[in-house]
Structure 1
Amino acid sequence: MDIELQAMDVSPPHSDGWLTRMNAALARTGMYVAIIGLMAIVAVVFYQVFGRYVLNNSPTWAESLAIVLVLYVTLIGAAVGVRDAGHIGLESLLVMLSDSARRKMDIFIYALVGLFGGCMAYNGWVLGSSVMSYTIPNLHISEAVRYVPLVLSGVLIVLFSIEHIVAILRGEEVKPSWN
């Protein structure tokens, strides 16, 4: 009977906290936004090329829209990469450290990444506010639209960095949102 109890996992299931659940939903939504944005970029560029070479009348708005979409795809995708640990890191130094030093270094790294995200969000807000009254000529929308993904991704990077720091302090790992 004792062996059967040992074989069974009788520990309570690990429940993720509200921050983890919220961040997982935000990351998954960010991935979907990036995927839809990437498909939109392909469609807009295809339409521009089709218009230029087949219709001999290239749409003037297509290039401006493609550039705005690239900003959304790259910045939101980069933020999701922070949560899912898809960013570039120098692991060779960390593997030589002790477990305690590695944990401290990981916390320091995510604190710096979070600080960078905060700076992105703040400065994106300031820059977006300063150009709000200007319009993108071919799209007839505010120039501030170009800075929205900077603010959004900065906020997401801060949230995802906090989640990683909390997970490190608890001795856990953040599960990627694509799992």
Structure 2
Amino acid sequence: MLSSSPTPATPVDGAPGPAPAPVSSPTGASLYTRFCATLARACMALGVTGLLLLVIAVLTQVFGRYVLNDTPTWAETIAMLLVLYVTMLGTAVGVRDAGHIGLESLLVLLPERIRTRIELLIHVLVGTFGAVMAYNCALLALSVADYKLPTLGISEGWRYLPPVIAGALIVLFSIEHIIAVLKGTEVEPAWH
């Protein structure tokens, strides 16, 4: 919800007060940051949904095995697929929100100029890793697309789609971090 800016107070002597600050339109970088934050929140919402579905799939499997003495064959395959999707989406968001393992205590000791260069290098390497992962997993998904998961009847390629999605997201989020380092700002985590 937008709030209206207060009107400048007129001094007692009748002289005009300071001019109001101009309203700035969002820059390309801030629009990109909002886009990435929205993507990260969507990934987290999908991850939470995936976790709930995973719990349901495992409970169905346990109930079938121990109560009905007839384990549903699809439950294990769906649970494994859900683990892949939840993990990969969470990994991508972890890159954006800087939730991954880092040795920032060493960077703090370095001079500002060197620290900035190393931070840029780290984000470039992480983005490169994401691109390589997405590309190679896409090739793998295409190579097994004709094979079917026997218990679900869907393409085997569905197993390799999560790292493709995560790799693409990692590239987007690494670009966001590079822009932030160049501007001298920090990326705000998607969840406050």
In structure 2, runs of 5+ residues without a counterpart are 1-10, 12-16
Q: CA deviation at 1:101?
A: 1.1
For each residue in 1:28-80, what CA deviation from the matched residue of structure 2 results, as whole angstroms up to 9, or x when unmatched? 10001111001111110011001111111110111111001100000111001
Distance 1:21 1:95 in 2: 28
Q: Do structure 1's residue 18 and structure 2's residue 10 form an aligned pair? A: no
Structure (1 or 2) with the larger CA radius of gyration: 2
Distance 1:11 1:104 in 2: 34
Which of residues 92, 95, 98 in structure 1 aligns to 2:111?
Answer: 98
Q: Do structure 1's residue 82 and structure 2's residue 95 form an aligned pair? A: yes
Which amino acid in structure 2 is aligned with residue 155 of structure 1? A
Q: Do structure 1's residue 33 and structure 2's residue 38 form an aligned pair? A: no
Distance 1:163 1:81 in 2: 13
Q: Do structure 1's residue 120 and structure 2's residue 133 form an aligned pair? A: yes
Q: TM-score, normalised by structure 1?
A: 0.91
Q: CA deviation at 1:18?
A: 2.1
Q: Which residue matches 1:46?
A: 59
Distance 1:144 1:23 in 2: 26
Q: Do structure 1's residue 66 and structure 2's residue 104 form an aligned pair? A: no
Distance 2:105 2:37 in 1: 28
Q: Which residue matches 2:151?
A: 138
Count, aligned residues: 174
Which amino acid in structure 2 is aligned with residue 147 of structure 1? Y
- Cα RMSD (Å): 1.8
For each residue in 1:70-107, what CA deviation from the matched residue of structure 2 results, as whole angstroms up to 9, or x when unmatched? 00000111001100110100122111101111111110
Q: Which secondary structure does the structure 1 equivalent of 2:73 belong to?
A: coil
Which amino acid in structure 2 is aligned with residue 82 of structure 1? V
Identity among equivalent positions (%) equals 53
